[in-house]
Structure 1
Amino acid sequence: MTMKLRTAILGTRGIPNYYGGFEHISEYVSAGLVKRGHSVSVYNSHNHPYTQDSWNGVDIIHCYDPEYLIGTAGQFIYDMNCLLDARKRKFDVVLIMGYTSSSVWGNIYPQGSAIITNMDGMEWKRSKYSKPVQRFLRYAEKLAVKHSQYYISDSMVIKSYLKDKYDVTSQYIPYGADVFSTEEREQYDAKEVLKEDYFLLMARMEPENNIDAILAGFNSSNSQKKFKVLGDTGNRFGKFIVNKFANDERIEFKGAIFDTPKVRSLQNNSYLYFHGHSVGGTNPSLLEAMGSEALIAAHNNPFNKSVLNTDAFYFSNAEEVKHLVENVQRHDFEKNMVMNNLHKIQSQFNWERVIDQYETFIVECYKNSNYERIIADQR
């Protein structure tokens, strides 16, 4: 029988997920661990829309978060508040999601808890950050390695990077995704979504997601199809992209859509789904597209290739995007690619397996920490 542990999850804005990747996985892992008999607490920003003290059996601890008052600096204070609270509660395991605003507080990480950090993607590579911010993120990564006892990588590429750069061994545990369900299939509006009548892209409006190259390639093509773009275009780069392609009536900016069945229907029914992400670990929206049975064209980089292997088309620039737009067919070969990716979700990236891997690793880390503590006490 597996031992039952008291685990805290820090480093996110909280659950249920209203924000992004780490919130998404924290939601699944926390509820999954509770179902397996563990006691789990998740730290939520006091500004989080969910105000109850428990969610699906998970204890919610609300901590003061001044980000709304002072911007990014508030994230650091919020993480400090969470860590100070966690010190008092003496958890068996503290799981920290990411390191951007928490690793600077490494000296106050709870003593006596096994400290595990999910190391995130190589954040310092993101071009949206200025050079000083990129330097700080490299430093934060180094501190996370120094102050954590155990590490999780959500990508084999990051696992190799951590080994090469810091000589640390991390546990590879990917994100998960659900398979597109029959109920979700029935929720789309046939007037809105004509089968395989459009190309699709879904991403945050940031340069490293290659949105400019994808849309420039489509813009120069002779395609008669539409190109739907999902994502909030309110930031500076988003406005630049909307303005740049304003004269192409085929390109439709749909804004951010948080209605999961609708997003998955759009993925499922697209002719070709473009995934331009080039930085970070295993991307949740890529796994979702695979689970939604989308045919995928992905930016040619090790992160995407380690997930998709030969079951996608790849591009590196606008010219290659144009070639795909004008030449990709939907025959048996392409249908096999779609089915192979679906099988990967069912076998490698399904949530039950991901939660099992988290549970096994958390228990192992706790046992190791306790053993090391006993040895230290005997000296």
Structure 2
Amino acid sequence: MVDVFIVGSKGIPAQYGGYETFVDKLTENRCNMDIKYHVACKVRRDDHSVKRFSYNHADCFNVTVPKIGAAEAIYYDLAAINESIAYIKKNKIEAPILYILACRIGPFMSLVTKRFHSLGGKVYINPDGHEWKRAKWSAPVREYWKQSERMMVKRADLIVCDSKNIELYIRNTYRSYRPQTTFIAYGADLPRTFKTSDKTDLVEWLKDHNLKERDFYLVVGRFVPENNLKT
């Protein structure tokens, strides 16, 4: 049995967010019964939910996070990692894998990796695109994100990229660290059978927009500078 501890999503069941949906679908569609997922879930101090619960056959554990503004995400990741380590030691789990989503805890990454290696484990990360370039962050925050990403890539045993371009960026930017990377696409749910003629509202929509089936692209994205739909 391989125990994988997932840290960085807000938790499952997913209510919103890419990472949350990813973890939800990952656990829902687990094919290898020799993998046991442990998923951190973020809760507030006034949330009296049970400490641990099962969802999609995954072991989910709630991590209480105070309202401390921008530092919440960093606090959450570190608290979740500490709880994971305590659980590993208590249950004498061998060769655990820590899978960190996003690159928020760079200054602490060296210690985190050292602690997991001492348990016979490994640390994987999934970088969140070019987070340090996003316009919504102030200049100091963007610099923190950039340096945090660098420190996490340097210390990780494996970088899992959900985009080929992100993998190329990681390899080129941090070439001196010789990062071990792999590309795994998010994937999508597709119906096994689908007849356009059975969907009268879709037929009308295509007609109203002078479109033909399988002859157009549908682009979905948020209206933010980093997801420029025109580009």
> Do Structure 1 and Structure 2 share a fold, with TM-score over 0.5?
yes
Q: Which residue of the partner structure matches residue 150 of structure 1?
A: 158
Which position in structure 2 is the counterpart of 1:129?
A: 137
Q: Percent identity?
A: 26
Q: Residue 146 of structure 1: CA displacement?
A: 2.3
Which of 180, 190, 197 is the aligned partner of 1:169? 180
- Aligned residues of 1:30 and 1:42 also touching (Cα < 8 A): no
Contact 2:106 2:147 in 1 (8 A): no
For 1:130 and 1:74, how far apart are their aligned partners in 2? 17
Shift of 1:50: 8.3
The counterpart of 2:189, out of the listed 178, 182, 185, is 178
TM-score normalised over the length of structure 2: 0.76
Unaligned 5+ residue runs, structure 2? 212-217
**How much has 1:188 moved relative to structure 2?**
7.5
| Residue 104 (structure 1) aligned to one of 81, 96, 107 | 107
Taking the aligned partners of 2:195 and 2:9, their CA distance within structure 1 comes to: 28
2:4 corresponds in structure 1 to: 7
Cα displacement (A) at 1:184: 11
List aligned pairs for 1:1-379, cutoff 5 A.
Answer: 4-33=1-30, 36-47=33-44, 53-66=53-66, 69-90=67-88, 92-99=96-103, 101-106=104-109, 107-109=111-113, 110-111=115-116, 112=119, 113-167=121-175, 168-180=179-191, 190=201, 194-196=204-206, 197=208, 202-210=220-228, 276=229, 299=230, 316=231
Are the aligned partners of 2:157 and 2:180 in contact in 1 as well (CA < 8 Å)?
Answer: no
Aligned residue for 1:41, secondary structure, equals strand
2: distance between equivalents of 1:189 and 1:70? 50
**Bigger-Rg structure (1/2):** 1
The structure carrying a bigger helix percent of its residues is: 1
Deviation at 1:155, TM superposition (A): 1.2
Deviations 1:330-358 (A, max 9, x none): xxxxxxxxxxxxxxxxxxxxxxxxxxxxx
Deviations 1:107-146 (A, max 9, x none): 2344222101112211112222222221111111011112
How far apart in 1 are the matches of 2:195 and 2:71? Answer: 40
Q: CA deviation at 1:152?
A: 0.8
| CA distance, structure 2, for counterparts of residue 164 and residue 27 of structure 1 | 31
Q: Which consecutive residues of structure 1, in runs of 5 or more, have no partner in the other structure?
A: 211-275, 277-298, 300-315, 317-379
Deviation at 1:102, TM superposition (A): 3.0
Secondary structure of the equivalent of 1:72? helix
Q: Report how many aligned residue pairs link the two structures.
A: 206
Query: Aligned with 2:136: secondary structure?
Result: coil
Distance 1:37 1:62 in 2: 24
Distance 1:105-1:174 versus aligned 2 partners, 3 A rule:
same
SS at match of 2:154: helix
Q: Could you say what the CA RMSD is over the residues aligned between the two structures, in angstroms?
A: 3.1
Paired with 1:127 and 1:117, the residues of 2 have a C-alpha distance of 23
CA distance, structure 2, for counterparts of residue 62 and residue 12 of structure 1: 12
- Asked if the contact 1:25/1:176 (under 8 Å) is kept, the reply is no
Matched to 1:171, the amino acid is T
Query: Secondary structure of the residue that 1:151 maps to in structure 2?
Result: strand
